[in-house]
Amino acid sequence: MTVPTGTTPAADTTAVVDTGSTTELAVAAARKRRRRSRSFVSFAAPLVVLGIVIGLWYLVTYAILDEGRRFLMPAPHRVVTDGLLGSAAPSMWEALGRTTTVALTGLAIAAVIGIVWAVVMSQSRMMETALFPYAVVLQCIPILALVPLVGFWFGFGFSARVFVCVLIALFPIVSNTLFGLRSVDRQMRDLFALHHPSRLTVLRKLEFPAAMPAIFAGLRISAGLSVVGAIVGDFFFKQGNPGIGILIDNYRSRLQSEELFASIVLASLLGVAVFWLFGRLGNRIVGRWYQR
C-alpha cells in the first residue's frame, strides 16, 4: 500500500491495547500467586511450629524424665487418648461450654462499658484526665485482693466469674478505643468543621469509622483476656456449675496428669478460637482498606 506524500501513517492502536491487557493480566496473576503464597505460609507455619512443640514434648517425656516421673508430663498421645477421648471428656466439654458462656458474657459487658467510657473521655481533655487513671487502677488491682468483696457483692457463682472477666478485659478496650477516637486526621476534622456538625454527627460519621481498626484490636486482646478471666474466676468462685478452671484445679490436686493437660489444651484452644473469631470479624467489618 502506498502512503501519499506529506501524510503520516496512522498508529496501530491494536498492539497498544493488546500490550496493556497483557500487562494487566500478568499483574493480576502475580497478585493471585502472592495471595496463595501468603495463605499457604499462614497455614503451614503454625503447623510446623506445632510439630516442633510436640517433638520437644516427646523428647522431654521419654528422654529427660525417667519412668517414675513421667506422670508430670505425659506424652501427647496419652493426653489425647486418656484425656480428650477418655471417660472425663464429656465433663470437659460441658465445662468448656460454661467457660465460653462466662467469657463471652464478660467480654460483651466489657465492650459496652469500655467503648462508652472511651467516648466520654474523647469529648474533652478534662474528662480524659479525670477518668483515665481509674481505668489504669482497675487494670492494676490484684484479683486476689478483691475476692472477699466480689463474693460479698455477687456471690461465688456465675455473676462473680463474669465480674472478673469484665475487670480483666476492660482496659484494652478503653485504651484502644480512646486511641482510635483521638487519631482522626486533622484535615478530616477541619473538613467536617466547615459544615458545623453536631458532636454526635462527628462521632458517628467521622470518629467511629476511623476508630474501628483500633476498637477491634482492643477486642481481640480482650477476647483472650476474657477467657483467662473466666478460668481465673473458676479458681476463686466455685459455686454453681463448674467451668474448665475448676476441672483444672481438681485434676491438679488429684495428680490426674492426662486430664489436666487435656483441659489446659482445651482452654488454650478456646482462647485461640475467640481471638481468631474477632480477628475475622474485624476484617469483615472494617474492610480491606485497613488490611496490611
* Average pLDDT value for residue range 196-216: 81
Q: Quick check: 215 and 237 in contact, CB under 8 A?
A: no
Any idea which of 1-10, 26-35, 91-100, 212-221 has the lowest mean pLDDT? 1-10
Q: How many CB atoms lie within 10 A of CB 280?
A: 10
Higher pLDDT, 61 or 173: 173
pLDDT tens per residue across span 157-171: 888 889 989 999 999
Which is it for the CA torsion 58, 59, 62, 66, positive or negative?
A: negative
Any idea which of 41-45, 183-187, 241-245 has the lowest mean pLDDT? 41-45
Residue 190 pLDDT: 72
Confidence of residue 177 (pLDDT cuts 50, 70, 90): very high
Residue 101 pLDDT: 92
Which of 127, 86, 10, 51 lies closest to 256 in space, CA to CA? 86
Cα(141)–Cα(168) distance, rounded to whole angstroms? Answer: 10
Residue 292 pLDDT: 46
Confidence of residue 16 (pLDDT cuts 50, 70, 90): very low
Q: How many helices (H) and strands (E) does the chain have?
A: 11, 0
* Average pLDDT value for residue range 242-254: 87
Whether pLDDT at 261 is above 80: yes
pLDDT tens per residue across span 38-77: 666 676 787 888 889 888 988 888 888 877 787 788 888 8
Q: How many CB atoms lie within 10 A of CB 113?
A: 15
Residue 40 pLDDT: 64
Share of the chain above pLDDT 70, in %: 83
* Average pLDDT value for residue range 193-197: 74
* Average pLDDT value for residue range 253-266: 88
Q: For the whole model, what pTM was predicted?
A: 0.78
Residue 118 pLDDT: 92
Helix (H) or strand (E) holding 194: none
- The ranges assigned to domains in the chain are 19-68, 76-290
Cα(141)–Cα(187) distance, rounded to whole angstroms? Answer: 40
DSSP state of 2: P
Instruction: Look up residue 114 and give its three cell numbers.
Output: 469500655
Question: Helix, strand, or coil here: 87?
Answer: coil
Which of 215, 23, 236, 213 lies closest to 147 in space, CA to CA? 236
Q: Quick check: 103 and 97 in contact, CB under 8 A?
A: no
DSSP state of 6: T
Higher pLDDT, 175 or 202: 175
Mean pLDDT of the chain, nearest integer: 81
Q: Among 1.10.3720.10, 3.30.1950.10, 2.60.120.10, 2.10.210.10, what is the CATH number of 76-290?
A: 1.10.3720.10
Whether pLDDT at 189 is above 90: no
Which is it for the CA torsion 111, 112, 118, 122, positive or negative?
A: positive
Q: Taking the CA of residue 285 as centre, how many other CA atoms within 13 Å lie in the half-sphere pointing to its CB?
A: 16
pLDDT tens per residue across span 100-153: 999 999 999 999 999 999 999 988 888 888 999 998 988 888 877 887 788 888
Q: Quick check: 152 and 145 in contact, CB under 8 A?
A: no
- C-alpha 49, offset from chain centre: 20
Cα(256)–Cα(145) distance, rounded to whole angstroms? Answer: 30
**Angle between helical axes of 158-182 and 89-122 (0-180°, round to 10):** 40
* Direct distance between the N- and C-terminal alpha carbons of the chain, in angstroms, rounded to an integer: 56
Which amino acid is it at 248? Answer: I
Cα(44)–Cα(55) distance, rounded to whole angstroms? Answer: 17
